[in-house]
Structures are given as C-alpha cells and as structure tokens.
Amino acid sequence: MKAELSGLIRSTFDGFQALVRLYYQMKACDDPILEIDMSRLTWFDANMCAALGAVLYPFQAGGRAIVPSGMNPRIEEVLQRNGFLLSLGANSTKRADTYRTTIEYRRFERKETQAFKQYVAKHFVGKRLPEMSSALQARFRESISEVFENAVDHSSTKLGIFACGQLFPRQKRLDFSIADRGVGIRANIQRHTELNLSPEEAIAWALDGENTTRPRRAGKPGGLGLKLIRQFIKSNDGRLQIISDAGYGSFGANDVEQETFEAPFPGTVVNIEINTADTSKYYLASEAEEVDPESIF
C-alpha cells in the first residue's frame, strides 16, 4: 500500500489538509516500508517540512522506513538543501544552500532549548527581517523561542520539536514553522482549565494575551510569545497560522480565517510568515522617544 502526497502543498488550509490525509493513509498501513508516492506533487513550501516531519517521525521512531518516490527533481533539490531528505535516510546528500534561502530542517529534543535559541539567532538576521532596533530583534527572537518552550511545556510530546523555514525572495516573504506531536492546544486547555472548547475556540483562546496555562518563569508570565509575534505580524502585514487538533487559524493584519479539517492533525503547528518587503523600522514601545508611532512594536 502506498500513501500519496500530491498537488500544491503550500502554507494554506488545503496544504495542511493534505498532510492530515497523508497521516491517516500511513496510519492505516502496516507495512514495514512506507512508500509515499510524490509523482503528482507539483510544489512543496519548504517550511512545511516541519509539519511533514512531525507527521512522519513517529513511524520512523517505530522502526519503519519512509521511502518517497517519483519526486519532481526541483522539489527534491529544495528538500536536499534544507536537509529534510537526509533526515529520512533517503539515499540523499545535503546540498549546499547556494541562494541562502533555507532555514534548515531540524528536530530538537525537549531539553534542547539553548540549541533552539542558537538556531533562531543564526537564521533570523539581516534582510530576512524588516529593520529592527537591536532590543526589538532580541525580543522577537525570544518570542520565537517561547513558541518552542510552549511546545515543550504543553504538548507532552516525547518525540521532539520540529522546525524549518524558507525565504521566498519573489513573494517577499519568510515562512518559519514549529511543529510538535503532542496533545494539542484544545486538550491542554481542558486539562488545565476544564474549559471544553472547540478546536477553533482553543486556538483563539491561546492567542489572547491574558490567557495562559504556562507557569511563570524567572518572574515572567507565560504565554506572551504568540501575543508579541501577532502584534508584530499585524504591523508587518504578515501572517500567523496555528494548526492544532482539527482546527486551523490564519491571522493576518486585517483578516482572520478559521476552518476545520476533516480529521485532527496529530499535534500542533505554528507558522510565522514575515513580509520581507516591509520598509518600516521597528522599535519597542520603551524606545518610543522621537520615533514614528506607526513603527513601534
């Protein structure tokens, strides 16, 4: 039995729905070798490797081989450059990132918080971000790292955290995804608050800066990472996407899209899309003196 991944896989509801379908196809197969037919796959946003890795890794960890077949050479090249195919052991070598557009695919153990922070510091630099004060850049990286820490604290996963990103120069955007194979936002909220929310309501609850199930650390309240990122995304005209359970939420500067998958995604994904065409310079509010109010984060 073959599983199939086909069509255009982008950072959209339909793209994540395709990964949900792939998961349930693979779950229904008992073969020791799981072949994924990609002969009809015409595009794959490289940052989606984080979500795909979260789907595939438990099968690998269980001793089953993952074998992609029929892959378009252009897609294969992208997945070699970011190291994803190498992670599958797919008779592949890692290609040099000649264009410097990839944020490499990585799986982090739960305890590797510092390694993740170093990974973020390495890749979120220069023209990959709009112009920011050094204080804001440090705060922004900290907010991304808090998304990782949220996954560690809330997901209960023992399979690690998956991350990957891609700069799309023509589309003027940078997409970065963090995924886990944990219990999901809805189940975590119910565990800590006894609220019985729908998957979509749970995502909206998690985005409210007043809500958190995470304890304070070093005097800091938990749950600020997504709030700060969303504030920046609104100013930057970017997008924040959250996938958890059967819920999909996409939050832009002026629009919100919420939909329901035909079956639950086996974990949670946060995708941060940054508009790299943004020419504004951003500062923290605490740096507000003599700064354009419209450029304050």
DSSP 164-186: EEEEETTTTEEEEEEEE-SS-HH
Q: What pLDDT band is residue 259 in, cutting at 50, 70 and 90?
A: very high
Quote the pTM value.
Answer: 0.92
C-alpha 140/C-alpha 123 separation (Å) is 13
pLDDT at site 284: 85
Please count the structural domains in the chain.
1
Judged against a pLDDT cut of 50, whether residue 75 lies above it is answered with yes
Per-residue pLDDT reduced to its tens digit, 89-138: 866 778 899 889 999 999 999 999 999 999 999 999 887 889 999 999 99
What is the pLDDT averaged over residues 194-208? Answer: 89
Q: Give the amino acid at 91.
A: N
Judged against a pLDDT cut of 90, whether residue 33 lies above it is answered with yes
Alpha helices in 63-110 (DSSP H): 73-81, 84-87
C-alpha 16/C-alpha 80 separation (Å) is 21
Judged against a pLDDT cut of 90, whether residue 142 lies above it is answered with yes
Judged against a pLDDT cut of 50, whether residue 182 lies above it is answered with yes
Judged against a pLDDT cut of 70, whether residue 290 lies above it is answered with no
**291 secondary structure, DSSP code:** S
* Residue with token string 């990964």: 19
Higher pLDDT, 290 or 241: 241
Per-residue pLDDT reduced to its tens digit, 242-255: 999 999 999 999 99
Long-range contacts of range 41-44, CB-CB < 8 Å, 24 or more positions apart? 41/5, 41/6, 41/7, 41/9, 41/71, 41/72, 41/75, 42/6, 42/7, 42/8, 42/72, 43/7, 43/8, 43/9, 43/10, 43/75, 44/9, 44/75, 44/78, 44/79
Alpha helices in 13-72 (DSSP H): 13-27, 49-61
Provide the CATH number for the domain around residue 133: 3.30.565.10
**252 secondary structure, DSSP code:** E
Phi-psi region of 290 (alpha: psi -120 to 50; beta: other; left: phi over 0): left
What's the token pair of residue 179? Answer: 């995924």
Please state, rounded to an integer, the average pLDDT across all residues of the chain: 90
State the pairing for strand pair 256-275/239-252: antiparallel
Q: Which domain holds residue 120?
A: 2-295
- 269 within 8 A of 54, measured Cβ to Cβ: yes
Per-residue pLDDT reduced to its tens digit, 157-171: 889 999 999 999 999
pLDDT at site 222: 44
